[in-house]
Copies of this chain bind each other. A is one copy, B any other.
């Protein structure tokens, strides 16, 4: 009986590599072992819990320093960050925006908030992210460049931007993508929601696009409860991001003058306090997560029919969310494996359903999506908390 064997094998590996004292091993849970407590307490003691306060400023400075990007603007979550990034680069109503079909729903929703249309593209097996070579061939076929803008010849609409997402922390192939964007006059926005601590050719992800979105949701490598940030190397864009996310209110001692339709996307100070404490521990989280991934890699390399997803050669991944791929002959067992592991208290999940298959995006433009479709059928995410990386186990 081959079928039960691979399922048992996977369950056995997960139990050995990511053991836990608890009945239930989460997919990803945060760890609060640093200054979270004292920073949050300070907010309560001083009464500065809301949208103005020193932790917001400090968190933004720390993010900028850590990523090497000139300006960081803290916001309520990654979706809000992405929404503002699109606004910053000039995405307008009825524009198309290139986005992978294999990503979290926020990628497409943020485009919809701008009354723009997601144009779905395929993924790379190496990075799980947008495939820039396949994109280049596709753009050559379907677009024309006029007056420094790129137009979809099939729909007549302008294509304004490309939003790659660094899936599970693994960086996409940015050199090629930057080149494609330049050739086609497309703005590059990096969705680095999952890749804080990940590098492409030695430079932090989020440092390549005109604007970048980060997320600090509870399941991310570090958390602020809920939160996100916008990164940009363009000082003017950074100022505008701050203005747009703080209701576009002009500075004044008492007057309420707002000069454009703005957003209430400020991160509260109490959440930023959590963020400062978490960011201090990020190097340690990274060490643990990479240690956990190395153990998974080693053990899964002995399991037939399963491969562990590793970082691409050109990058260093934060290994935010570990993943295995079932070989094609076993991908029909994906749901059985999900069922068996979850029933045994080991949380696993499939990758997202392709966005191009969701009802509200059914009528949107797309290229051939066969690689993403295949990835959707065979990827399983496995427990990835930094705390699991600390446990010393014999593998």
The reply on A153 being an interface residue by CB < 8 A is: no
A349 proximity list for chain B (CB < 8 A): 254, 256
Per-residue CB contact flags for chain A residues 321-350 toward chain B (1 = under 8 Å, else 0) read 000000000000000001000100000111
**A254-B338, A338-B254 are contacts. A359–B105 as well, Cβ < 8 Å?**
no
A115 proximity list for chain B (CB < 8 A): 115
The reply on A247 being an interface residue by CB < 8 A is: yes
Q: Can you tell how many copies of this chain the complex includes?
A: 2
The reply on A214 being an interface residue by CB < 8 A is: no
Q: Are A49 and B348 in contact (CB under 8 A)?
A: no
Distance, CA A254 to CA B32, complexed state (A): 26
The reply on A65 being an interface residue by CB < 8 A is: no
The reply on A70 being an interface residue by CB < 8 A is: no
Size of the A side of the interface (Cβ < 8 Å), in residues, is 68
Q: Contacting A109 at CB < 8 Å: which of B31, B223, B262?
A: B262
Q: Are B49 and A218 in contact (CB under 8 A)?
A: yes
A219 nearest in chain B by CB position: B50
Q: Are A259 and B360 in contact (CB under 8 A)?
A: yes
Q: Are B353 and A264 in contact (CB under 8 A)?
A: no
Q: Contacting A105 at CB < 8 Å: which of B36, B255, B258?
A: B258
Q: Are A30 and B51 in contact (CB under 8 A)?
A: no
Q: Are A106 and B264 in contact (CB under 8 A)?
A: yes
Q: Are A353 and B253 in contact (CB under 8 A)?
A: no
Q: Are A79 and B271 in contact (CB under 8 A)?
A: no
Q: Contacting A218 at CB < 8 Å: which of B51, B223, B257, B259?
A: B51
In angstroms, how far is the closest chain B Cβ from the Cβ of A271?
6
Distance, CA A16 to CA B262, complexed state (A): 39
Q: Are A254 and B342 in contact (CB under 8 A)?
A: yes
Q: Are A226 and B50 in contact (CB under 8 A)?
A: yes
The reply on A274 being an interface residue by CB < 8 A is: yes
**A37-B41, A41-B37 are contacts. A51–B217 as well, Cβ < 8 Å?**
yes
Distance, CA A359 to CA B350, complexed state (A): 48
A residues with CB within 8 A of B: 29-32, 36-37, 40-41, 43-45, 47-52, 76-80, 104-106, 109, 112-113, 115, 217-219, 223-226, 247-249, 253-264, 266-271, 274, 338, 342, 348-350, 352-353, 358-360
- Extra A-B contacts (16), CB below 8 Å, given A226-B267, A254-B348, A270-B271: A40-B40, A49-B274, A50-B217, A76-B77, A79-B247, A79-B263, A105-B258, A105-B262, A106-B247, A254-B338, A254-B342, A256-B350, A257-B353, A257-B358, A270-B274, A271-B271
Q: Write 29 A-B pairs (CB below 8 A) sorted by A numbering.
A: A32-B49, A37-B44, A49-B223, A50-B217, A50-B225, A51-B217, A51-B218, A76-B226, A77-B264, A78-B264, A105-B248, A105-B249, A105-B258, A106-B264, A109-B262, A113-B113, A224-B268, A225-B269, A225-B271, A226-B268, A253-B342, A255-B350, A256-B350, A256-B353, A257-B358, A258-B358, A258-B360, A259-B359, A270-B274
